[in-house]
Chain A
């Protein structure tokens, strides 16, 4: 320990990490492309925010590691981390300035644009100072947020995060806030300074208020809820239903479009959750059933092919039926497979379906690479469902059905059998459970929901091409389940909003979608393995159950003395 140089010390490890991370973010182009949008208008762009957020995050992690140290020392550490990160960026800027080196021939994104973003457009002197200072402050902020005990530390961190989230979604608030209010808080791109400060401190104040009185409010709510559980439950239902029904009117056409897409993924997610979350069968070819649902809708209704002339409602059951048949068909050969093998085979199945619809041989039936056009629109009474807000209601109905199916099955002997299968296949069989039938039922039910989703998707687009059905869809759906919480129904909704909704709202994100997915998934596995909204049971199991923490607390000293 004593022999180690300062440059090899732990704080410097974090410093280097922060430095490398921000330089990489700059070099892959994220910083520049995010800078198209402001976070605080005229002060900080989203690209710059990305850097400071990263530094603050590293500061936070470092702070968490030295929880017992004095606040001053942590602040110093945070400062050092920020300093190193800032210095790394300055070096990067200086390197881009060296002509013979020609950094840009290797790193396309080391552009003058990047230099301008990193120096806040203020040239090298003042710009560097700015950059260094803000990095140091971010590092200190992150470190302090980790170590200041009680509500102040977590309050700072949470209100910063919430404010950032609000700032990123500026466009949404603008669509339904009254003009005057929107103008007060937001500039053309992002917050204005007052808006930022007010939002941040308001949220901080609210979190402090909640920490003081939240417990009391919860208790009194709990009293009401326990006295009249039915009434309270109904009230919640009515409120959420009204909000859900009014949503497209509130948010306008563009956001309805986003909600539609999220909804289509929610239906798929609820279906795949049955297969992966309940029964533990890792299916990577889930997009196949989505494609089959969509293509059934297309083939049976498209006038271009002229094979059939059914309506949307006549075809919908067929879409589901064919998806179910495909589910069973896939299920039979993979009955004996587990884990990785199952994943690979199902992935192959997904590709087979995609290649089939793409093939020239089947072009007369399936449309080939050009796809299908003129797919039927659903009609309700005399209304033809065609614009995004109208489709919203159709998709909402689909979500309700999928939710109902998933929750009804989960709370039944079949749901328990699926869970047993997930936990231990051999023992489940020894309990008299017929593995063949429950596996096929899982595949079939999951496929049915995916087929439903695909049918709506096809009708919504009105036309489709085979390229809409790549393996990426399967991966998105699986990721949203993992992020939301495996096996949890609300988790699917939260996961879809986070992974499908966010990139649609922040188009800059979309370009780096896979990179962000990767980072988010790794982060989740490390810090919140149970997901954003785990099922209550799971939440109890992985975090802070009293009985469990008491056990670990009492055994910890014993283990230590044994080691000594």
Chain B
């Protein structure tokens, strides 16, 4: 049993079944990828796991406990953090503020502490600033803490979004197309960075990705989705050889030719 599982997770929008009885089982400290053509339901699955959508049927288990009926903020408390396909930073806040918002749940003081500027509030805030600085170092943005998030170059915005998610100290990190729009060198760096997240911080990574080089390069397990359904599952080598995957990606003829 893995750290994150879905059992027959299903999400419908009217007549459209966006996620159709999906089962995945992610081992702790692994890098797990979900691939599939556009509109396959990958991001919807992410939204179900983070409870932004409530799954219509099935179960989503974190550490064996069902989470599908929680609110998104409770899920964040339980240890799931995510990034977005189209970067969604708090663009009119500074880099360091973005990370500190991520630390919200680990900053322990209340309304009155804030109002009275109590010693506890000062101590906790100092702690989060220090930790935010550490995260800035980790993503190579040292010294850029006071810039507005929206003024960072694209690649750095991607990294900042990951850092903001890391600030939650998640058990599982969901990355939605982390290398979208990157050149080969940036992509290479990002792959290396994702591996570090797992190796150094011990975080389980669930990844949506289109770049096959990335997927095959860093994943331990892959699930392939098409029209909301899981059509294949396995290690990178198994997936590469699977005719159904080739068909979904390249069309019927290509699958026959490969066979």
* B92:A541 contact, CB within 8 angstroms: yes
Residue picked from B91, B114, B124, B148, most chain A C-beta under 10 Å: B114
Residue in B77, B90, B107 whose beta carbon sits within 8 Å of that of A419 in the complex: B90
Q: A453–B139 Cα gap in the complex (Å)?
A: 47
Within 8 A of B (CB), among A522-557: 537-538, 540-541, 545, 547-548
Q: How far is the CB of A445 from chain B (nearest CB, A)?
A: 9
* A419:B93 contact, CB within 8 angstroms: yes
Residues from chain B with Cβ under 8 Å of A431 in the complex: 73, 76, 101-102, 104-105, 164, 168
Within 8 A of A (CB), among B110-165: 111, 113-117, 121, 124-125, 128, 147-148, 151, 164
Residues from chain A with Cβ under 8 Å of B76 in the complex: 429-432
* A435:B73 contact, CB within 8 angstroms: yes
The number of chain B residues touching the other chain, given as a range, is 35 or more
Residues from chain A with Cβ under 8 Å of B105 in the complex: 431-433
**Interface residue B94 (Cβ < 8 Å from any Cβ of A):** yes
**Interface residue B12 (Cβ < 8 Å from any Cβ of A):** no
**Interface residue A434 (Cβ < 8 Å from any Cβ of B):** yes
* B90:A424 contact, CB within 8 angstroms: yes
Known contacts A430-B82, A433-B104; A412/B71 CB under 8 A = no
Q: How far is the CB of B130 from chain A (nearest CB, A)?
A: 15
* A414:B114 contact, CB within 8 angstroms: yes
* A412:B125 contact, CB within 8 angstroms: yes
**Interface residue A405 (Cβ < 8 Å from any Cβ of B):** yes
**Interface residue A205 (Cβ < 8 Å from any Cβ of B):** no
**Interface residue B52 (Cβ < 8 Å from any Cβ of A):** yes
**Interface residue A428 (Cβ < 8 Å from any Cβ of B):** yes
Known contacts A423-B90, A429-B72; A541/B148 CB under 8 A = yes
Q: How far is the CB of A404 from chain B (nearest CB, A)?
A: 9
Q: Across the two chains, which residue of chain A brings its CB closest to B80?
A: A430
Known contacts A409-B115, A433-B101; A547/B91 CB under 8 A = no
Q: How far is the CB of B193 from chain A (nearest CB, A)?
A: 21
Q: Across the two chains, which residue of chain B brings its CB closest to A424?
A: B88
Residue in B97, B115, B164 whose beta carbon sits within 8 Å of that of A405 in the complex: B115
Contact string, A423-455, partner B, CB cutoff 8 A, digits 1/0?
A: 110111111111100000100000000000000
Q: Across the two chains, which residue of chain A brings its CB closest to B115?
A: A408
Residues from chain A with Cβ under 8 Å of B92 in the complex: 419, 423, 537-538, 541
Known contacts A430-B76, A541-B92, A541-B148; A413/B84 CB under 8 A = no
Residues from chain A with Cβ under 8 Å of B114 in the complex: 408-409, 412-415
Q: A417–B97 Cα gap in the complex (Å)?
A: 10
Within 8 A of A (CB), among B149-197: 151, 164, 168
Q: Main secondary structure on chain A at its contact with chain B?
A: helix
Residue in A423, A432, A433, A548 whose beta carbon sits within 8 Å of that of B91 in the complex: A423
Q: How far is the CB of B15 from chain A (nearest CB, A)?
A: 25
Residue picked from A427, A428, A537, most chain B C-beta under 10 Å: A427
Contact string, B32-46, partner A, CB cutoff 8 A, digits 1/0?
A: 000000000000000
The number of chain A residues touching the other chain, given as a range, is 20 to 34
Q: A561–B117 Cα gap in the complex (Å)?
A: 55
Residue in B52, B117, B164 whose beta carbon sits within 8 Å of that of A426 in the complex: B52
Within 8 A of A (CB), among B43-101: 50, 52, 71-73, 76-77, 81-82, 84, 88, 90-94, 97, 100-101
Q: A424–B115 Cα gap in the complex (Å)?
A: 25
Q: A408–B104 Cα gap in the complex (Å)?
A: 17
Known contacts A413-B125, A416-B97, A420-B90; A429/B104 CB under 8 A = no
Known contacts A412-B125, A414-B114, A420-B101; A429/B71 CB under 8 A = yes
Q: A419–B98 Cα gap in the complex (Å)?
A: 10
Q: A436–B251 Cα gap in the complex (Å)?
A: 48
**Interface residue B109 (Cβ < 8 Å from any Cβ of A):** yes
Q: A408–B52 Cα gap in the complex (Å)?
A: 32
Q: A409–B115 Cα gap in the complex (Å)?
A: 6
Q: A435–B77 Cα gap in the complex (Å)?
A: 14
Q: A136–B109 Cα gap in the complex (Å)?
A: 65
**Interface set of B (CB-CB < 8 Å, partner A):** 50, 52, 71-73, 76-77, 81-82, 84, 88, 90-94, 97, 100-102, 104-105, 107, 109, 111, 113-117, 121, 124-125, 128, 147-148, 151, 164, 168
A-B contact pairs, 24 of them (CB 8 A): A409-B114, A412-B109, A413-B109, A413-B125, A413-B128, A415-B114, A416-B101, A416-B104, A423-B90, A423-B91, A424-B88, A424-B90, A426-B52, A430-B76, A430-B81, A431-B73, A431-B101, A431-B104, A432-B105, A433-B104, A435-B73, A537-B94, A540-B148, A547-B151
Q: Please provide the 10 A-B residue pairs with the shortest distance between their CB atoms, ordered closest to farther.
A: A432-B76, A412-B114, A432-B105, A423-B90, A420-B101, A429-B72, A413-B107, A427-B88, A432-B73, A429-B73
